[in-house]
Amino acid sequence: MTTQTSQAPARGTRRRRSALPYVLVLPAVLLFVLFILAPGAYAVVLSLQRRKVSGGLLGTGSKVVWVGLDNYRQVLTDGELWSSALRMLEVGAITIPVTIGLALLFALLLDTARARFTRAARLLIFLPYAVPGVIATLLWGFMYLPATSPIGGDHIDYFGATGVYGSVANIAVWGAVGFNMVVIYTALRALPPEIYEAARMDGCSELQIALRIKVPLVLPAITMCTLFTVLASAQLFNEPNTLKPLSNAISSTWVPLMKVYTDAFVNSDIYSAAATSVVLAVAALAVSFVAARVVQARVAGGGR
């Protein structure tokens, strides 16, 4: 009798323990469904529809009709969208290598044996990441204006047709370097110090240790940061949209997300905007999948 009584609470405890992971994951699942999955599904539904005006020339009525893939054909043949995507790639060509290069450089410098005041330096480098993107863009925008610029606004056209690419990329880099530096620095600190001691005993300099030991071992972290930066570049919106009133070179469709915003909320064409959003989301997922496979291959290969 005592054995049966003791076994019953044990089974109840095992059930509660087995259910605990699902209870802990449930809030994240609900948030994912409510704010990502459901809006995404609604966008797909909208992308397959179109509002049709009826009533002849007077346009006395309208109704929503299913048009299948017509919106996608219109989006994929829209030259304005491809031009905005090209501008996004040009900004990304500046942002991605500069962001990862500076983040890696700062992380390596902070990880050297002679580094001093590393906590304060990490905080100062990370601080721009905590500044909201719109506020950061406004701050830099006033620094770019000739009337208020302390960085040569009278001699450099920061808002010209060519200079605006560097201006937008500079703001993106300024805000993203700190986060990526922390990720790479954390990976460096996780490496066993015995490796460095053995390398120094063999006569390696700090530069050789950084390039031949540290960088290969933290390559998965660098690859992950590159993925984050690529996805952030694909979502470029705040910087050019905030700078648009200050620059004639930035149109309302300068990058793809600005075109989505203009189509949906200025031109009231939510169906084309939804199709464009779905295309951009699929492209971002494809990039994420390829990058994730690269990271897995690097981790499985020991960072080689």
Half-sphere exposure of 146 toward its Cβ, with a 13 Å CA cutoff? 7
Residue at 158 is within a domain: yes
Residues 6+ apart with CB under 8 A from 246: 141, 144, 145, 159
- pLDDT value at residue 147: 83
Whether 163 and 228 share a structural domain: yes
Whether 1 and 101 share a structural domain: no
Whether 87 and 219 share a structural domain: yes
- pLDDT value at residue 61: 67
For residue range 232-251, what is the model confidence (pLDDT) as tens digits? 999 999 999 999 999 999 99
Please tell me which residue, 255 or 157, carries the higher pLDDT value.
255
Residue at 9 is within a domain: yes
Give the span between the Cα atoms of 112 and 136, in whole angstroms: 31
Q: Give the residue from 139, 173, 145 showing the smallest Cα distance to 158.
A: 145
**What's the rounded mean pLDDT across residues 118-141?**
93
Residue at 222 is within a domain: yes
Q: Which domain holds residue 119?
A: 78-300
Mean pLDDT score of the chain, rounded to an integer?
87
Residue at 166 is within a domain: yes
**pTM of the predicted protein model:** 0.84
Residue at 49 is within a domain: no
Whether 25 and 158 share a structural domain: no
Residue at 7 is within a domain: yes
Total domains, the chain: 2
Residue at 87 is within a domain: yes
CB count within 10 Å of CB 62 equals 11
Whether 13 and 146 share a structural domain: no
The span from the first CA to the last CA of the chain, in angstroms, equals 61
Residue at 11 is within a domain: yes
- The answer, yes or no, to whether residue 68 has pLDDT greater than 70, is yes
Whether 134 and 31 share a structural domain: no
Torsion of CA 30, 231, 137, 110, to 10 degrees: 100
Supply the CATH number for residue 265's domain: 1.10.3720.10
